[in-house]
């Protein structure tokens, strides 16, 4: 992936991006950096690119023409369709889902403002998306661009080593990560929680989930409101199990997988609640209705994945109390690209749900 950064302070970008994990990724070629100095497009001998604001007011405004020409150069390298992102406090705040979305492009053009910002006419003409990195005002967009580069790069294959990459981190499931500990076992009189020393994975996972919930409750209750437990319910041929497991891992750390081929599940009453999000997957839709007979829900949102040929009829699930927000073709989910795109679309729906 290539990041094209348009800035008045190229060294600031090169210096930070050349350090640590990003520096290594630049060296091994997983990511590339194309830093364009907007000053090189100054229309004045003085190399200045700013002017006084029309209508008066404090500070200077960056002129349209140098910015336009810098974007043109970036596009000539990145391709006409590359997205132009302007870093600005006057925008929706970046979050993990947006980071994941941005990581799907091959090129990203990041435009950094300075002074009082940029002449709005050029922004109207060239910018595809405005992104803020937080509800505060910085002196320039460079730190914002670096935040985007850093967060997006973590999704680019080859940037993180296995030991650095983690599916278990803050914001998966809209929860903050549980506390982490390392040696020594006792530090300043504080012992690490006993359960972490037991080697009992089920207990450890339950403990960590509880800690994640508690931390999110205390520090980010707004996230908790948007947090859904994602469960995968599957029924049908054995080969479907691998798809069900992969789906659950992509969606959620703490959700559960329910295999409705098991008679124990078929015969027991199960009711999902409004904080549950359920992904149904079956390759035998005709028989699934009988297998899921004891399953019900109270306002749970759901996605149903069935073979393309089956009738797109959601009434079966809706009668059970689910709100089906999407129906997908099983065949599409078996294709890697189709599956990734669909999962991302569903993640967005879950966030908005």
Ligand X SMILES: C[S@@+](CC[C@H](N)C(=O)[O-])C[C@H]1O[C@@H](n2cnc3c(N)ncnc32)[C@H](O)[C@@H]1O
- The 240-279 contact track toward ligand X, x by CB under 6 A, reads ----------------------------------------
Least distance (Å) from ligand X to the CB of residue 62? Answer: 8
* Residue 227 near ligand X by CB under 6 A: no
Using the minimum distance from each CB to ligand X, give the nearer residue, 91 or 171. Answer: 91
Q: Given the rule CB under 6 A, which of 111-119, 210-218, 284-292, 302-310 is the region that contacts ligand X? A: 111-119
Query: How big is the site for ligand X, counted in residues (CB under 6 A)?
Result: 19
- Name the token pair of 195: 């359960």
Using the minimum distance from each CB to ligand X, give the nearer residue, 121 or 271. Answer: 121
Using the minimum distance from each CB to ligand X, give the nearer residue, 50 or 173. Answer: 50
66-95 residues near ligand X, rule: CB under 6 A: 87-90
* Residue 116 near ligand X by CB under 6 A: yes
HSE (side-chain half, CA atoms, 13 Å) at 30: 20
* Residue 10 near ligand X by CB under 6 A: no
Phi first, then psi: what are they for 185, rounded to 5°?
-65, -35
Least distance (Å) from ligand X to the CB of residue 92? Answer: 11
- Name the token pair of 189: 């009189």
Least distance (Å) from ligand X to the CB of residue 127? Answer: 11
118-177 residues near ligand X, rule: CB under 6 A: 132-134, 136-141, 144
> Please, is 257 exposed, middle or buried when counting C-beta atoms within 10 Å of its C-beta (0-12, 13-18, 19+)?
middle
Contacts 24+ apart (CB under 8 A), 209-215: 209/178, 209/253, 209/254, 211/178, 211/179, 212/173, 212/175, 212/176, 212/177, 212/178, 212/254, 213/175, 215/175, 215/176, 215/177, 215/178, 215/179
- Eight-class DSSP state of 114: B
Using the minimum distance from each CB to ligand X, give the nearer residue, 151 or 292. Answer: 151
Using the minimum distance from each CB to ligand X, give the nearer residue, 120 or 256. Answer: 120
Using the minimum distance from each CB to ligand X, give the nearer residue, 54 or 136. Answer: 136
Rounded Cα gap, residues 317 and 324, in angstroms: 7
- Eight-class DSSP state of 53: P
Per CB under 6 A, residues contacting ligand X are 87-90, 112-114, 116-117, 132-134, 136-141, 144
């Amino acid at each position: 992936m290539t990041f094209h950064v348009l800035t008045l302070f190229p060294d600031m970008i090169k210096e930070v991006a050349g350090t640590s994990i990003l520096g290594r990724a630049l060296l091994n070629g997983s990511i590339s950096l194309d830093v364009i100095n907007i000053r090189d497009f100054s229309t004045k001998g003085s190399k200045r690119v700013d002017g006084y604001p029309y209508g008066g007011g404090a500070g200077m405004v960056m002129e349209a023409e140098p910015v336009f020409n810098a974007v043109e150069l970036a596009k000539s390298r990145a391709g006409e369709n590359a997205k132009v992102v302007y870093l600005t406090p006057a925008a929706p705040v970046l979050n993990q889902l947006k980071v994941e979305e941005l990581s799907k492009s091959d090129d990203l053009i990041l435009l950094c403002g300075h002074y009082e910002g940029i002449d709005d006419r050029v922004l109207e003409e060239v910018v595809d998306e405005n992104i803020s990195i937080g509800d505060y005002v910085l002196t320039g967009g460079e730190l914002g661009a670096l935040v985007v580069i850093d967060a997006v790069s973590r999704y680019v294959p080859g940037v993180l080593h296995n030991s650095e990459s983690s599916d278990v981190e803050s914001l998966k499931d809209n929860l903050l990560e549980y506390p982490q500990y390392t040696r020594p076992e006792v530090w300043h009189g504080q012992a690490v929680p006993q359960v972490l020393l037991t080697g009992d994975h089920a207990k450890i996972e339950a403990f960590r989930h509880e800690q994640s919930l508690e931390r999110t409750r205390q520090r980010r209750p707004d996230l908790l409101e948007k947090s859904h437990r994602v469960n995968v319910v599957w029924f049908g041929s054995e080969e479907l199990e691998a798809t069900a497991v992969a789906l659950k891992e992509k969606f959620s750390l703490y959700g559960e997988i329910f295999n409705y081929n098991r008679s124990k599940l078929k015969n027991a009453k199960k009711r999902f609640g409004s904080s549950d999000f359920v992904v149904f997957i079956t390759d035998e839709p005709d028989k699934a209705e009988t297998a899921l007979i004891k399953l019900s829900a109270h306002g749970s949102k759901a996605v149903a994945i069935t073979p393309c040929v089956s009738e797109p009829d959601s009434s079966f699930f809706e009668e059970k109390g689910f709100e089906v927000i999407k129906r997908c073709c099983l065949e599409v989910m078996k294709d890697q690209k189709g599956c990734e795109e669909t999962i991302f679309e569903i993640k967005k729906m879950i966030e908005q749900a």
